[in-house]
Amino acid sequence: MKTYPAEPFRIKMVEMPNILTKEERVEAIKAAGYNTFQLKSEDCYIDLLTDSGTNAMSDRQWAGLMLGDEAYAGSRNWAHLEATVKEYYGYKYVVPTHQGRGAENILSQIMCKPGSYVPGNMYFTTTRFHQENNGATFRDVIIDEAHDPEIDLPFKGNIDLKKLQALIDEVGAENIPYVCLAITVNLAGGQPVSMANMRSTYALCQKHGIKVFYDCTRCVENAYFIKIREEGYANKTIKEIVLESFSYSDGATMSGKKDGLVNIGGFLAMNDEGMYIRARELVVVYEGMPSYGGMTGRDMEAFAIGIQESVRFEYIQHRVEQCAYLGDKLIAAGVPVVRPIGGHGVFLDARKFLPHIPQEKFPAQTLAAHLYIESGVRSMERGIVSGGRCKITGKNHAPKLETVRLTIPRRVYTYAHMDIAAEAIIDLYKNRDKIRGLKFVYEPPMLRFFNARFDYCD
Ligand SMILES: *Cc1c(COP(=O)(O)O)cnc(C)c1O
């Protein structure tokens, strides 16, 4: 039988959530318009909405907060963060931002213009928004298998080089400012990209004069998968693998709220000096001085320490294997989930879970609402509601993957919490026939999933 590593930490402080009754939860989700984003955090016993900014910091990071240098310019914590990013990620230049999307905004403004095409290994909501907002067209060049929840591949986040080549032939390399390569691929279920794929993507792009920018939000989880799955990496450290990954790129956007082990923060990094100068011009407009970019001094100190802690093997092993633990339990009970289990959570296959609800009635949204009612576990829709509408036709993007994401915050929950989530999902699966679909009551024009409201169809 597979065994799972015990928590590699001791608990020094605890947080006491409300544990509501089922009747109270029925009222709470109704008041939230059946949108889990609209629930109160304190009403969620086990909050698996996101792994973003929900990390538990270490005692060393909390101590780092006290070293915050809150000067408007030239903070020593920025010097520490900048040096840490250069050492661990290997880039020449770093521009701080308040979180990942701040970096995406600056990168997209510099690189994209009307007529540009930005290929990526599946889209991410805010990333694609900023590309399109600057006139570019996003093109998905991930391998086909990534859109099939059942195909079990070690590196299901890989770019399909034939698709990338076909796009270059179709629109011309001069219209592709950069390839956006996400490690890992969030919406595909936290699927990793192999080192070999990063290397060959970079080689193809260099041949055509196209830059490669990583969305490196979960680069440490990606490195763990490379270590355990890719030939030649078993004896390399996580730190070495992370550094090698970045050597096949020209820059990266980072959300520190994920693998940075902090609650807020991000950066844009690159090797090109001209681009760095341009990014420093823009950062003062949108984020703040290039020595804080929207972060406080103490945030930057905690972030620098978080980057160092994130590459410790026992930390990342427990983090990824804890997700596998939840996934393996569901698989053993026959619950349809995206395979293989990714690095930051478990994705339920809502199409298979609720086959009687068509995609236009939002099966994943419905399932997330019912999981909350059943158990107090908060999850997130990642399907047609998150997909949004096409800017040109106004039609819904109808993604093949219609999922409910159970994302596991880093260093926050124990295996016993995972058991509660698993048991509730298994119960719901047994009683799935009783669940009815939803319709929009309010649909926001942009990034609609955050604030949308729903009600039952009939
Ligand atoms: C969270 C996330 C972002 C955006 O980062 P924020 O810090 O939330 O702005 C970008 N890409 C991916 C893959 C993410 O998961």
Is 298 in the active site?
no
Residue among 53, 55, 52, 64 at smallest CA distance from 299: 64
CA–CA distance, 454 with 438 (Å, rounded to integer) = 6
CA–CA distance, 324 with 418 (Å, rounded to integer) = 10
pLDDT of residue 390: 85
Which conformational region is residue 430 in: left (phi greater than 0), alpha (psi within -120 to 50 degrees), or beta?
A: alpha
Q: Which two tokens stand for residue 86?
A: 């250069």
Is 432 in the active site?
no
Looking at the CA of residue 265, tell me the nearest atom of ligand 1.
7
> How close is the Cα of 1 to the center of ligand 1, in Å?
35
pLDDT of residue 388: 87
CA–CA distance, 180 with 139 (Å, rounded to integer) = 10
pLDDT of residue 174: 98
pLDDT of residue 370: 97
Spell out which residues line ligand 1, taking CB within 6 angstroms.
52, 99-101, 124, 126-127, 182, 186, 215, 217, 255, 257-258, 266
Is 30 in the active site?
no
Amino acid (1-letter code) at residue 355: P
Return the residue whose CA atom lies nearest to atom 5 of ligand 1: 100
Asked whether 254 and 216 are in contact (CB, 8 A), the reply is yes
> How close is the Cα of 255 to the center of ligand 1, in Å?
5
Quote the pTM value.
0.94
> How close is the Cα of 334 to the center of ligand 1, in Å?
31
DSSP 8-state assignment for residue 337: B
pLDDT of residue 399: 87
What are the E-state strand segments in 242-401?
251-255, 266-270, 345-349, 377-378, 380-382
pLDDT of residue 219: 98
Return the residue whose CA atom lies nearest to atom 13 of ligand 1: 186
Q: Output the tens digit of pLDDT for each of the chain's 458 residues.
A: 889 999 999 999 999 988 999 999 999 999 999 999 999 999 999 999 999 999 999 999 999 999 999 999 999 999 999 999 999 999 999 999 999 999 999 999 999 999 999 999 998 989 999 999 999 999 999 999 999 999 999 999 999 999 999 999 999 999 999 999 999 999 899 999 999 999 999 999 999 999 999 999 999 999 999 999 999 999 999 999 999 999 999 999 999 999 999 999 999 999 999 999 999 999 999 999 999 999 999 999 999 999 999 999 999 999 999 999 999 999 999 999 999 999 999 999 999 999 999 999 999 999 999 999 999 999 999 999 998 888 889 898 888 889 999 999 999 999 999 999 999 999 999 999 999 999 999 999 888 899 999 999 87
